[in-house]
Amino acid sequence: MQIMGIVNTSPDSFSDAVRLTTAEQQIAHARVLVACGAGIIDVGGESGVTYTEHTPVSEEIERVVPVIAALSEDGVTVSIDTFKPAVAEAALSAGATILNDVSALHDPELADVAAAHGATLVITHTRAAPKQRSFPEVGDIVADVEELLVEKIALARDRGVEHIVVDPGPDFTKTPAQTIEVLRAIERVRALQLPWLAAVSRKYFIGAITGREPHERLAGTLAAVGWAADHGAAIVRVHDVGEVHDYLAVRATLSGHAEVPEFDSEDERLMWIRHDR
């Protein structure tokens, strides 16, 4: 399972404990995430929160392109989190290779952009337009996820997209109870026989379970990551890359899927806390 690290270049993301206000800060943070174990960096220039207005396309491009270009020069696999074709075009031209569309192809032109660049397209389940403040009631949420993903996969393929990842859309037009219902039925998504992405980091459904605010949801996020690994997720999208990497490393070693790595047996820091320093 690959770890996708999150780098937000927008000033209003709901889950960022610290705002990174310059491209230099955002690039440096992304490099730290890579060093901590991220195989993909997901760069976003507009928050999905519904209490702010849409960011102008030119401003979103100005936010994300310098970060993407610098990381691409480093050889990092970069994803662009956007629902706007013009932003996607600029980002893919700057070196991104994954288009993470959380709008369920609200604008089908996104599929055309992905196809033209040979990019991987992430299709997320949602029934609301971007920034829409309300969403329709759905009777059978699991069936709705399956139905919409099948429809959008066909649309993307018809427009020439060859590489598709699906995201069941935790919290997107879903109550916490509905999100949990969908995740419990994840085998219905896996039956589509495409890689699936688990975007579970600091999500509302974890807050509903634990009663904790976004910056306090690491333990809940790790539990969700472990569940995703048990259920065949190809990618997990997270903020706390180092902690998730360590969790997965210990998990893999204890389960026999990895061996204990080489380490310095003389390094006392690995044995105990020294209070005489």
Residues marked as catalytic: 203, 237
CB 41 within 8 A of CB 30: yes
Residue 63: closest CA among 45, 79, 76, 81: 45
What lies within 8 Å, CB to CB, of 104 at 6+ separation is 123, 124, 125, 126, 127, 148, 152, 169
Beta strands in 116-200 (DSSP E): 120-124, 163-167, 197-198
**Of 241, 103, 87, the residue nearest 169 (C-alpha):** 103
Torsion of CA 186, 127, 65, 63, to 10 degrees: -120
d(CA 147, CA 181): 15
CA-CA distance, 91 to 2, in Å (whole number)?
21
Kindly state the DSSP code that residue 128 receives in the 8-state scheme: S
Helix (H), strand (E) at residue 116: helix 109-117
Which backbone phi and psi does 208 adopt, to 5 degrees?
A: -65, -35
Tokens linked to 100: 């993470």
Q: What is the largest CA-CA distance in the chain?
A: 67
